[in-house]
Structure 1
Amino acid sequence: MKRTHLPLNGLRVFDAAARHLSFTRAADELAVTPAAVGQQIRALEDMLGVVLFRRTPKGLELTPEAEAGLPALRSGFLEFEESVRAMQVGQSSQHLTIAAPRDFIQKWLSARLADYMIANPELSIVLIAAEGVPDFTESNLDLAISLTDGAGGHEGLALGAPRFVRVGAHEAKLTANILWPGSPDPSSAGAIRVPDAGLAIEAAMSGLGTALVPALLAQADIDAGRVRAVEDGKDMPLGYWLIAPLPQWRQKKVKALVEALQAA
């Protein structure tokens, strides 16, 4: 019989009924009615072409065919339980793999992860530099942080408001427009182009002009006085999102980190 055709639910009911030698007690264990247990047993007998139970004056009795199959069946259920435990180890492990843009790791994430790891000393983290939403199936990721307009086909939460702010040095040397890939600024003559928003902030800090960048990325430098906001912040379609497929999103270790990052 092919694995896809195995009557697993019927076998589970048979195991319970065989242990109790009672449809009523098996029904109590399985939280169903005795009639439902009887239906499952009859369906299993029809599929297998054998009789599994006989009624006697003393109650239910296993047939020789049923007794012959029980040891392997119970061994199989033990293997199933071990398999489930093995799969759950990843959920309870203290290892996280996170993908995020390189500049976001440097400007925002690293400091928060340091605080989180102090509070969770058993935790180990692997950081992967990635732009956009990565392929979770190929990268074996637990969580991604992306500058995007939503979670797409995954689960996700926005990390702060999607606001951008224009920053510049306190004493600017140039008035150039500092652009980076994905910058909402239009292209302009005399612009300076850099690889990412983090380097755009650094270029502005050096007095090379002004850059329109995510407020979340620039806030620490603004607070420390390394750059100043030369214009009021403005809402944009793009923001930083915490993203993961549903199985990863449900993991306790991912939920705990998402909650901590949102509170940071």
Structure 2
Amino acid sequence: MKRTHLPLNALRVFDAAARHLSFTRAADELAVTPAAVGQQIRALEDVLGVVLFRRTPKGLELTVEAQAGLEDLRAGFLRFEQSVQAMRAGQSSKSLTIAAPRDMTARWLAPRLAAVAAADPELRFTLIAADTPLDFTEANLDLALRWATGPDDLEGVPICEPALVSIAPPEGDGLFHIAWGSDHAGEQDERPVMRVADAGLAISAVRQGLGHADVPLLLAESEIAEGKVRALGDARPHDHGYWLVAPTPQWRQKKVQALVAALTSC
């Protein structure tokens, strides 16, 4: 059903003028001039085709037509206020929905969310596996973590400095160059290429002694530190990195800002 176009600003001015029975006091409440109030009332009367106020020696009076609609109008404004409060409540809630690649979630994100939640037990997280970008509106996301060259058309910040590191088993080099995603470096290697779905699986294959791989330093740091794999030289800058991204409305939420601050404190 097509809705009637409502002159909401003029109706708000009418409500204030009706409560005060004074254009001057209504103007003070709305932070406008009395002339602006009078202009809005006249415009509303033209739209409705009725007179709303009558001037008498004692001051302004509401007409019968104005009184007939005033109660429902005020009830409607109350419902508007309740609706706005309900929508704002989501911003102040302790629940966040986050989309991230599976390997990043398992190896980096989940442990850090556990630490964040330990500091605030009221926090609740919903994690969605997303190896490719999801539509924020359809998935009802607060935040997403992506392996990309930048935030594209969203707002975003990188997690640490994007870098790759070559890793190998603790002993020996294995048989394969283990490639993942768009990694084609192994095609130049003398050893055959073993392809896996993501960097997490590449790290697991290296740990099993299958070969070496070029993976994000962020995902391999703990295995390197624990001696489960060894680094073949220093990490090197890369055009891709992990980015926390969200549309502008989500980015303005305090709960999103707090989580981003916690996750980017490298």
Partner of 2:29: 29
Provide the C-alpha distance between the structure 1 equivalents of 2:165 and 2:250, rounded to a whole number of angstroms.
Answer: 33
Indicate whether 1:230 and 2:232 are aligned.
yes
Letter in 2 for 1:60: L
Question: What SS is found at the alignment partner of 1:3?
Answer: coil
Q: Is the 8 A contact 1:162 1:214 kept in 2?
A: yes
Letter in 1 for 2:181: P
Q: Is the 8 A contact 1:132 1:148 kept in 2?
A: no
- 1:2: Cα distance to partner? 5.8
Letter in 1 for 2:96: L
- Which shifted more, 108-117 or 245-254? 245-254
Structure 1 runs of 4+ aligned residues shifted over 3 Å read 1-4
- 1:195: Cα distance to partner? 1.7
- Which shifted more, 42-51 or 245-254? 245-254
- 1:179: Cα distance to partner? 0.4
How many residue pairs end up in the alignment? 264
5+ long unaligned stretches in structure 2: none
Letter in 2 for 1:263: S
Alignment partner for residue 220 of structure 1, among 219, 222, 226? 222
Partner of 2:111: 111
- Which shifted more, 211-220 or 174-183? 174-183
Tell me how large the CA RMSD over aligned residues is: 1.8
Question: What SS is found at the alignment partner of 2:116?
Answer: helix
Provide the C-alpha distance between the structure 1 equivalents of 2:14 and 2:112, rounded to a whole number of angstroms.
Answer: 53
Alignment partner for residue 248 of structure 2, among 246, 249, 256? 246
Show the 5 A alignment for 1:4-23. 5-23=5-23
- After superposition, the Cα gap between the structure-2 partners of 1:4 and 1:175, relative to the gap in structure 1 and judged at 3 Å, is farther
Provide the C-alpha distance between the structure 1 equivalents of 2:104 and 2:230, rounded to a whole number of angstroms.
Answer: 19
- 1:68: Cα distance to partner? 1.0
Partner of 2:160: 160
TM-score (norm 1): 0.94
Provide the C-alpha distance between the structure 1 equivalents of 2:238 and 2:79, rounded to a whole number of angstroms.
Answer: 52
Provide the C-alpha distance between the structure 2 equivalents of 1:226 and 1:86, rounded to a whole number of angstroms.
Answer: 50
Provide the C-alpha distance between the structure 2 equivalents of 1:9 and 1:169, rounded to a whole number of angstroms.
Answer: 69
Partner of 1:255: 257
Show the 5 A alignment for 1:1-264. 3=3, 5-174=5-174, 176-183=176-183, 185=185, 187-188=187-188, 190-264=192-266
- 1:257: Cα distance to partner? 0.9
Provide the C-alpha distance between the structure 1 equivalents of 2:22 and 2:2, rounded to a whole number of angstroms.
Answer: 30
- 1:223: Cα distance to partner? 2.1
5+ long unaligned stretches in structure 1: none
